[in-house]
């Protein structure tokens, strides 16, 4: 039975394929805005901020940047997540997302995509100074959107 129903499903899917380009994408936003922040964008940003820069310790100046290939790859992964998170912020249909917000919501989201892409390039190049500087720019984008849309009274 199982095999027959799989075969039937494939047949139905095959007959649906008219060869026409898809005009509407059936997005299915899954996280509310607060969880997109807490579970996706914030952890990715923390990987960047926690693994870039220099700090003074008893042993002198210590680098926070990755050392192994695996650690560098983590930075690349986090950068890609940040860039794509900007697209998630703009996705239609997300609760508390772009729908009904001002145009600047899109501008802030695009700034996340652009900053994420720059981080991606810099971490692939292992360009420490660039990662540090762009990490700072990223922080300013977060704060700007939060001032406008998340915690307007606090800042
Ligand atoms: C396009 C706008 C926008 C951008 C850009 C943005 N945020 Fe947010 N963020 C929000 C909104 C809106 C909320 C409040 C969500 C809610 O309460 O429903 C929020 C909430 C948060 C929270 C939840 C705080 C809490 O109370 O639990 C965290 C953490 C967070 N953002 C991190 C970030 C970080 C890190 C960045 C940048 C890398 C960022 N956000 C960029 C709109 C944005």
The string of pLDDT tens digits covering residues 49-70 is 999 999 999 999 999 999 999 9
Rg of the chain over all Cα atoms, to the nearest angstrom: 21
- pLDDT band at 77, cuts 50/70/90? very high
* Residue 63 or 12, more confident: 63
> Which tokens is 155 given?
């800042």
* Residue 29 or 155, more confident: 29
- pLDDT band at 151, cuts 50/70/90? confident
Assess contact for 76 and 124: CB atoms under 8 A.
yes
Residue 36 CA to ligand 1 center (angstroms) comes to 8
Ligand 1 binding pocket, CB closer than 6 Å: 33-34, 37-38, 41-42, 45, 89, 96, 105, 108-109, 112, 138, 141-142, 145-146, 149-150
- pLDDT band at 1, cuts 50/70/90? low
| pLDDT tops 80 at residue 43 | yes
- pLDDT band at 22, cuts 50/70/90? confident
Assess contact for 90 and 81: CB atoms under 8 A.
no
The string of pLDDT tens digits covering residues 121-140 is 999 999 999 999 999 999 99
Q: How far apart are CA 95 and CA 55, in angstroms?
A: 39
The string of pLDDT tens digits covering residues 108-123 is 999 999 999 999 999 9
Q: Which atom of ligand 1 is nearest to the CA of 96?
A: 18
């Amino acid at each position: 039975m199982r095999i027959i129903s799989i075969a039937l499903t494939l047949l139905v899917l095959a007959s649906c394929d008219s060869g026409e380009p898809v005009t509407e994408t059936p997005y299915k936003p899954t996280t509310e805005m607060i969880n997109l922040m807490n579970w996706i964008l914030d952890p990715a940003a923390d990987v960047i901020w926690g693994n870039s820069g220099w700090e003074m310790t008893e042993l002198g100046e210590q680098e926070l940047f990755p050392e192994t290939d695996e650690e560098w790859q983590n930075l690349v992964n986090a950068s890609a997540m940040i860039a794509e998170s900007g697209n998630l912020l703009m996705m239609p249909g997300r609760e508390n997302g772009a729908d009904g917000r001002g145009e600047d919501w899109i501008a802030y989201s695009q700034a996340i995509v652009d900053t994420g892409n720059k981080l991606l390039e810099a971490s692939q190049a292992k360009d420490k100074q660039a990662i540090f500087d762009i990490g700072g720019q990223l922080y300013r984008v977060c704060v700007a959107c939060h001032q406008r849309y998340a915690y307007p009274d606090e800042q």
